[in-house]
A and B are shown apart, each in its own frame.
Chain A
Amino acid sequence: MALADTARALVDRRLRARQMHLWLGILLAAIAIISLATGASGTSLWSALFRLASGDGISLTERVVLWDIRAPRTLLGICVGGALAVSGAVMQGLFRNPLADPGLLGVSAGASLGAITAIVLGGLLPFGLGAFLGAALLPILAFVGAWLTMMVLYAVATRSGRTSVATMLLAGIALGALAAAFSGLLIFRADDMQLRELTFWNLGSLSGSSWSKILLAGPVILIATAFATTLAHGLNGLALGEASAHHIGIPVQRTKNLAILTVSGATGAAVAVSGGIGFIGIVVPHLLRLATGPDHHGLLVNSALLGASLLLLADIFARFVVAPAELPIGIVTALIGTPVFMWILLRQRGVVDL
């Protein structure tokens, strides 16, 4: 039958997206190994592994460098990169707009405000509650900050099911500025100890990675990413607009709520452990849409893999370029991300259709 022939002759972008899971997985594994193997101390992953395998045992330095520094840093990089890229992809699907990004639209700033509130005002909590929440307070408030920002942003930017680009960008900028202003107020009020803590938190880097941070952020990010992949069908439908999504059988309200929660959870957790790292959320889904199309079924998983790879790569670069010092990773992602983003905009002017 002629129709079946055309069906076969066409390059199915869904198939290509699925094949890409494998390639991006291999890429991520390779970069993760490089990340484990390189660093300022000159400790060799391979010799340590060799000695471990031959039963000689490894030195304390090797143990500390590999297990307590590089391993959590690599894992955290994977979590944060994946979280930022998936947040970007989900947010773009939700707002039906390729320019939506948690960093650009103030969601990261909202999460930061939450985190800063935790650092500065955390001591004011009644003692029992403070002790109960402990180190979890910061990620919890970061999540609440991101979630509130998302809710306000969506309520302002979306009227009767359509998102206005101009309103979305302006509202995002305004919310970001407002969050930054409140953050400034809190910083103004902070004492010296808190300022020290804030400065370290705010560096926007993976340099403070530790297993305890992974325990805090990792589960949230894993759960949020897992939920995000279940949203693929709904986000595809939302691309037609809220009304048409309902007509083709998508539970619109539930999809929107889940998407908002997912983005808030992933962004909040990522910001809580790494400060604000920009451009991963906007560049990664864009590149993948160019390669395999906008179908969210493949896009969300591929975004997680490529986002993790890119962030790790940027981190390796940040550690390597001015070793033994390191650059804040936000500078690196912006340096790589901005030209790519501009190039996409110029090339895709017709198709992006703002």
Chain B
Amino acid sequence: MIAATNITLRYGRNTVLDDLSFQADPGQFTAIVGPNGSGKTSLLKALTGEMPIDGKVSVSGCDIAATPAWHLATLRAVLPQATVLSFPFQALEVVRLGQARNTMRDGTLPHQALARVGLSGYEDRFYQELSGGEQQRVQLARVLCQVWTPVENGTPRWLLLDEPVSSLDIGHQLEIMQIARDYANAGGGVIAVMHDLNLSAMFADRVVLMKSGAILADGTASNVLTDQNVSQTYECRVQTRTVPQDEAWFLLPQGAALRPD
């Protein structure tokens, strides 16, 4: 379980997260959604320990402020929004960076990870020469390589993804979301900051809707993403639907208007 208790995060004088508590369970795919500036990426950064916060965050019972980096790295892996590299690394070398020391001997693991994100044959391509979407998938392979088995010695491991699909085409979006889904199904935990509400509703077990540094609603997609909630947080009028037979939630952009009623 990843749990954040009463966390407050400030950038200078700006309070981005105010006394917020959050928790996520393994075996579940949790999507954090909300408009730009709602604090969803800040929440993820607080969960990863990237930002100094007031309050406490624990991953599988370990307080992240008191746990050394190498130990945290065995519990969770983090995919940033975008990663710029200044040196001419090849794709496989980037993936290998994620490989933990205890799996170093397994020379095929980075290859498997690249294959998992659909980039077999890209091993010796230079990272800088890949497209933005391909770079993001290479980084995902690196992240998967770090916590390859979703459950290790009975302890579930975590994928923390910051907008994993925002630079991808629809085919690869589905592919990457399925990888995250499978990871959760196999017992690992997934927390993803998402922009795309439809993809979130399709793949996530639980949707956390944020606005102005607070959690506005929390639950299944169809409970959280109501017309009223979505219209209010995103400040535009939308109509959400569900597919009748399986009650799958979706949003049709054509039904939206700029101002809420």
Interface residues of A (CB under 8 A from B): 1, 3-4, 6-7, 10-11, 13, 96-98, 236-237, 239-241, 243-244, 246-252, 289, 293-295, 348, 350-353
Contacts and interface: CB of A to CB of B under 8 A. Distances in A.
Given A3-B115, A7-B108, A248-B98, A240 B90 contact: no
B80 A243 contact: yes
Contacts of A249: 69-74, 100
Contact of A289 (B49, B85, B88, B98): B88
12 contacts: A3-B115, A6-B111, A11-B124, A96-B86, A236-B97, A240-B97, A244-B83, A247-B77, A248-B77, A249-B72, A289-B88, A293-B89
Interface residues of B, number: 41
B60 interface: no
Contact of B90 (A4, A13, A96, A353): A13
Interface of B: 48-50, 68-74, 76-78, 80, 83-90, 92-93, 97-98, 100, 107-108, 111-112, 115, 120-121, 123-124, 126, 128-129, 142, 146
Contacts, number: 99
Contacts of B98: 248
Contacts of A97: 86
Contacts of B142: 248
Given A98-B87, A249-B73, A295-B93, 15 more contacts: A1-B108, A10-B124, A98-B86, A236-B97, A237-B97, A244-B78, A244-B83, A246-B69, A247-B78, A249-B69, A251-B68, A289-B88, A350-B128, A351-B88, A351-B129
Contacts of A7: 107-108, 111
Nearest to A99: B86
| Closest 6 A/B residue pairs (Cβ) | A249-B73, A294-B87, A249-B70, A247-B78, A3-B111, A351-B88
B12 to A, nearest CB: 12
B80 A239 contact: no
Contacts of B78: 243-244, 247
Contacts of B76: 247
A10 B123 contact: yes
Nearest to B109: A3
A28 B6 CA distance: 60
Contact of B108 (A3, A96, A237, A239): A3
A261 B205 CA distance: 49
A294 B70 CA distance: 23
Among A237, A251, A353, max chain B CB count under 10 A is at A353
